[in-house]
């Protein structure tokens, strides 16, 4: 499937894993738990990756007491955690095989109260995958489609080092 391929026409390990696991019953939950085991802090918001394609990831966060702030809305740091997970999974599923990435920063604006379940989306254009700084737009929506957080996560994209002969 063309949307599941990066620029080398071969799916990444993360994209292949997602495609295999999400065919199973409860596959999205299983995949999300696997990601949370690789990066345990993500598990604190119990996120579910509901959609993953090359250059786009959608992550869901349920509104529950554990992610509330003092006014019983979803705490913005929990939302940032969901946005970072969406970005990281999107990056791992999308980056061309000869490149690598590392986050450099995050800038967000709180645009509305987050009084419901939250949908976090990270999405880039294919031509953004070049060495240097890369800004990944991230947006969080409530169940009515209102933007509650909007921002960017800055990545540093670089060439993978050449493999040393064995």
Residue spans of beta strands (DSSP E) within the chain: 48-53, 56-61, 99-110, 118-123, 132-141, 147-159
Domain ranges of the chain: 2-159
pLDDT (0 to 100) of residue 6: 52
Instruction: Say if domain 2-159 classifies as CATH 3.10.129.10.
Output: yes
Q: Would you write out the chain's pLDDT as a tens digit for each of its 166 residues?
A: 344 445 457 889 999 999 999 999 999 999 999 999 888 888 889 999 999 999 999 999 999 999 999 999 999 999 999 999 999 999 999 999 999 999 999 999 999 999 999 999 999 999 999 999 999 999 999 999 999 999 999 999 999 988 887 7
d(CA 37, CA 49): 14
CB-based burial label for 26 (10 Å; 0-12, 13-18, 19+): exposed
pLDDT (0 to 100) of residue 52: 97
d(CA 58, CA 27): 15
pLDDT (0 to 100) of residue 1: 38
Please count the CA atoms within 13 angstroms of the CA of 146 that sit on its side-chain side: 12
């Amino acid at each position: 499937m063309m949307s599941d391929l990066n620029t080398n026409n071969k799916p990444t390990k993360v994209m292949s894993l997602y495609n295999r696991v999400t065919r199973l019953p409860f596959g999205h939950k299983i995949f999300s738990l696997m990601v949370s085991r690789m990066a345990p802090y993500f598990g604190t918001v119990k996120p579910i990756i509901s959609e993953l394609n090359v250059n786009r990831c959608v992550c869901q966060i349920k509104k529950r007491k554990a992610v509330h702030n003092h006014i019983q809305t979803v705490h913005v740091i929990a939302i940032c955690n969901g946005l970072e997970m969406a970005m990281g999974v999107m990056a791992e599923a999308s980056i061309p095989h000869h490149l690598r990435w590392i986050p450099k920063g995050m800038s967000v604006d709180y645009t509305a109260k987050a009084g419901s379940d939250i949908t976090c989306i990270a999405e880039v254009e294919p031509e953004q995958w070049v060495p240097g700084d890369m800004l990944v737009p991230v947006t969080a929506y409530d169940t009515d489609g209102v933007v509650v957080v909007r921002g960017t996560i800055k990545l540093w994209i670089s060439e993978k080092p050449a493999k040393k002969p064995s």
